[in-house]
């Protein structure tokens, strides 16, 4: 019966967190992207997602509840690290890729690719 309680707790928490996340966005859009403030929405939604992931991993996937040595948790930690490198690294590099390029608008201020003032 103990595990039934765990599943029920996990289920109720995940439903509540989902309703909060969708509800927040609903009010945000209804209020014309003002309430809750636009810059606050991203951290809020990420926080809700992380809480939700934590609930699911603990109550449904029983992470960290196995006997020692905790190989499941070790494998999970490694996977989490790889996921962080892939997603974080991709975003970091792709968002900074412009910095390595020559700024074409400085070379061709009129926006034309063909250089001006050349003899035919």
104 binds another protein (CB under 8 A): no
58 binds another protein (CB under 8 A): no
DSSP 11-65: HHHHHHHHHHHHHHHHHHHHTTS-SS-HHHHHHHHHHHHHHHHHHIIIIIS-TT-
52 binds another protein (CB under 8 A): yes
Helix, strand or coil, per DSSP, at residue 69: coil
CB-wise, 35 or 46, nearer to another protein? 46
25 binds another protein (CB under 8 A): yes
Q: Which residues contact 120 (CB under 8 A, 6 or more apart)?
A: none
- Tokens for 104? 């074409």
Question: Interface residues for another protein in 2-21 (CB under 8 A)?
Answer: 3-4, 7-8, 10-11, 14-15, 18, 21
- SS3 for 98-114 is HHHCCCHHHHCCCCCCC
What residue ranges bind another protein (CB under 8 A)? 3-4, 7-8, 10-11, 14-15, 18, 21-22, 25-26, 28-29, 33, 38, 41-42, 45-46, 48-49, 52-53, 56-57, 60-61, 71-72, 75-76, 78-80, 82-83, 86-87, 89-91, 94
């Amino acid at each position: 019966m103990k595990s039934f309680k765990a599943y029920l707790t996990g289920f109720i928490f995940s439903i509540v967190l989902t309703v909060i996340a969708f509800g927040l966005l609903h009010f945000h859009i209804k209020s014309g992207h003002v309430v809750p403030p636009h810059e606050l929405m991203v951290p809020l939604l990420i926080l809700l997602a992380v809480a939700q992931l934590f609930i699911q991993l603990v109550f449904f996937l029983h992470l960290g509840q196995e006997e020692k040595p905790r190989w499941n948790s070790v494998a999970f930690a490694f996977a989490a690290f790889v996921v962080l490198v892939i997603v974080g690294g991709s975003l970091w590099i792709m968002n900074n890729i412009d910095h390595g390029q020559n700024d074409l608008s400085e070379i061709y201020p009129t926006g034309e690719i063909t250089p001006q003032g050349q003899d035919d």
